[in-house]
């Protein structure tokens, strides 16, 4: 018998874990990268989009014939566009010209209707985030659509519990640190919670843009790392989530993304670059016997127009 999937949504999750061979210096901790680019849209956000929609279907917030509304920097929107296309829900997305054109194109190809909120010189700021959220709130109120509201939606946390279980099995339980950049904070929170159920000694490191160090310094600013650094303390963040917070600049993240492509053959976005920069710092402090896992959040194919 052929081993057939029911639909493309069955292909979400079960991604590979790959050691970095060249970027990590000799005699440092081993750094493993969770290849979330293997998900159908090339992003880890496929996991959370499916979790949010499935939970809303299960409890009646989203019924047959309903529609969906969300604000997004792009990857969540693309993932929701995929899920809604398969399940047959019209989707209205609020996004901005601050984010990669490829993501906006991908959403439209999958059938989403887009509203574009202008940015300040193509940069991510707290004001832009709040303007996008308000626009989505108005659309949901006017249309009666189900608003996934990713900044407040705890249904997505379960998706990252599942990712943590994959990591635990793939490492054979040998993991000393987990590093992840903070957008909604759900991925760090969910993955960290589940990993610490296995071993509460695992060190969790949050990553934020150095230009907007809200979590570590309470100072907001503008940056160009897609998908992270909302510019304010997001609702799903908890002060006890992370053991430490690492600041990584847009330039550092972009340079590391280029190194990953040219030295490891891994074409990723800037949030992945930020993750690896922070993981290298943790690797230096933990030493050669440690194992650190971080995340390749998405594929660099989403950012070709920015290179």
- Residues 182 and 77 grouped into a single domain: no
- Model confidence at 307: pLDDT above 90: no
- In the block, which residue shows the tokens 């999937």? 5
- Residues 50 and 67 grouped into a single domain: yes
DSSP readout, 202-252? -EEEEEEETTS-HHHHS----B--TT---SS--TT--TTS-SEEEEE-HHH
Q: Which two tokens stand for residue 124?
A: 């991510």
The per-residue pLDDT for range 72-102, each reduced to its tens digit, is: 987 999 999 999 999 999 999 999 998 889 9
Are the C-beta atoms of 269 and 15 separated by less than 8 Å?
no
Question: Which pLDDT belongs to residue 159?
Answer: 97
CATH number at residue 231: 3.40.50.1100
Last residue of a domain, one of 121, 147, 173: 147
2 domain-assigned: no
Question: Which pLDDT belongs to residue 124?
Answer: 81
The percentage of residues in the chain with a pLDDT greater than 90, rounded to a whole number, is: 87
- Residues 172 and 301 grouped into a single domain: yes
Q: What is the DSSP letter of 147?
A: E
- Residues 143 and 234 grouped into a single domain: no
Question: Which pLDDT belongs to residue 305?
Answer: 76
Q: Which two tokens stand for residue 171?
A: 């490492």
Last residue of a domain, one of 101, 119, 147: 147
The per-residue pLDDT for range 199-246, each reduced to its tens digit, is: 999 999 999 999 999 999 999 999 999 889 999 999 999 989 999 999
Burial state string for 58-67 with b = 16 or more CB within 10 A and e = fewer than 16:
eeeebeeebb
The per-residue pLDDT for range 233-274, each reduced to its tens digit, is: 999 999 899 999 999 999 999 999 999 999 999 999 999 999
Domain with 76 in it: 45-147
The per-residue pLDDT for range 121-176, each reduced to its tens digit, is: 888 888 999 999 999 999 999 999 999 999 999 999 999 999 999 999 999 999 99
- Model confidence at 26: pLDDT above 90: no
């Amino acid at each position: 018998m052929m081993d057939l999937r029911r639909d493309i949504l069955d292909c979400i999750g079960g991604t590979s874990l790959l050691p970095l061979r060249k970027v990590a210096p000799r005699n440092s901790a081993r750094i493993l990268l969770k290849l979330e680019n293997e998900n159908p849209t090339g992003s880890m956000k496929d996991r959370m989009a499916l979790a949010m929609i499935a939970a809303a279907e299960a409890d009646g917030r989203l019924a047959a014939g309903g529609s969906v509304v969300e604000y997004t920097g792009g990857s969540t929107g693309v993932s929701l566009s995929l899920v809604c296309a398969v399940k047959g829900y019209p989707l209205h997305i609020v996004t901005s010209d601050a984010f990669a054109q490829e993501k906006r194109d991908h959403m439209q190809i999958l059938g989403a209707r887009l509203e574009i909120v202008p940015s300040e010189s193509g940069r991510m700021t707290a004001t832009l985030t709040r303007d996008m959220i308000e626009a989505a709130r108005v659309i949901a109120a006017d249309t009666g659509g189900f608003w996934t509201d990713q900044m407040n939606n705890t249904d997505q946390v379960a998706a990252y519990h599942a990712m943590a279980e994959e990591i635990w099995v793939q490492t054979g339980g040998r993991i000393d640190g987990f590093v992840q950049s903070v957008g909604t904070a759900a991925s760090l929170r969910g993955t960290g919670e589940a990993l610490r159920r296995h071993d509460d000694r695992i060190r969790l490191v949050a990553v934020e843009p150095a230009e907007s160090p809200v979590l570590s310094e309470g100072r907001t600013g503008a940056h160009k790392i897609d998908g992270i650094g909302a510019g304010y303390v997001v609702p799903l963040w908890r002060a006890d989530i992370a053991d430490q917070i690492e600041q990584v600049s847009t330039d550092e993240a972009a340079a590391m993304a280029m190194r990953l492509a040219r030295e490891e053959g891994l074409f990723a976005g800037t949030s992945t670059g930020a993750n690896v920069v922070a993981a290298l710092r943790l690797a230096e402090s933990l030493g050669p016997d440690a194992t650190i896992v971080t995340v390749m959040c998405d594929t660099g194919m989403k950012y070709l127009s920015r290179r």
